[in-house]
Homo-oligomer: A and B are copies of this chain.
Amino acid sequence: MEQADDGTPALKPGRGRRKADDVRRATLVAASELLMDEGVGAVTFSKVAARAGVSKVTLYKWWPSPGALALDAYFATSRETLAFPDTGDVRHDLTEQLRAFVDLMNRSGTTIAGIVGAAQSDPDLSEALSTRYVQHRRALAVERLSTAQQAGQIREDVDLESIVDQLWGACYHRLLLPAQPLTHEFVDHLIANLLRGITPG
């Protein structure tokens, strides 16, 4: 794809400049493909620019680091798979969402673990992981839990942030410190433990 020298998307005959939205979408698709195929280390501004047919200067303007771009791409592509359903039944909805989440981990676990692993020794990636992925995902989860709390399905005094760590965090634990499998049965245990409690009576 052609590019203008000044770093803006190329003019195409009769069609005007490529729209910013299109450039952004093409960039995220290219970054996501590189991420899934080759891991987070392969997501460089040069490679993404070449693959998306976008100027490197544009990428430098829009993203503070290649890690930030990688995380935005991951967030965008996983958004649909990891959507939070709201049928009004919190047990059903959590089961659906968390089963989809472990399915994704079983498909793309190496990529996800690669991002989290690399972030532990890369301050830019760590910052991007936190601000561009973790905080957004936590907010979406807390939003669904909050709806359940307002509907009287979760007690008023329960700290919703800690639930996020006990559902999705428990799955990350099995991915990053492997010892036990990430199955639908595991998801069912996680939800049952919290909804019913683990003590008798």
Contact = CB atoms under 8 A, between A and B. Distances in A.
Contact of A195 (B155, B172, B198): B198
B173 A169 contact: yes
Contact of A118 (B117, B138, B179): B117
A120 interface: yes
A95 interface: no
A26 interface: no
Nearest to A172: B173
A196 B197 CA distance: 5
Interface stretch (A48-56, A57-65, A73-81, A185-193): A185-193
Most buried by B among A129, A135, A180: A180
Please classify how large the interface on chain A is, using the bins under 10, 10 to 19, 20 to 34, 35 or more.
35 or more
Residue among A134, A138, A173, A200 with max Cβ neighbours from chain B (10 Å)? A173
A37 interface: no
A199 B195 contact: yes
Contact of A200 (B118, B155, B161, B180): B155
Contact of A179 (B130, B172, B180, B195): B130
* Complex A-B, nearest 10 residue pairs according to Cβ-Cβ distance, in ascending order: A117-B120, A197-B197, A169-B173, A165-B170, A162-B189, A166-B166, A159-B189, A117-B117, A113-B120, A158-B198
5 contacts: A113-B120, A116-B120, A116-B177, A117-B117, A172-B173
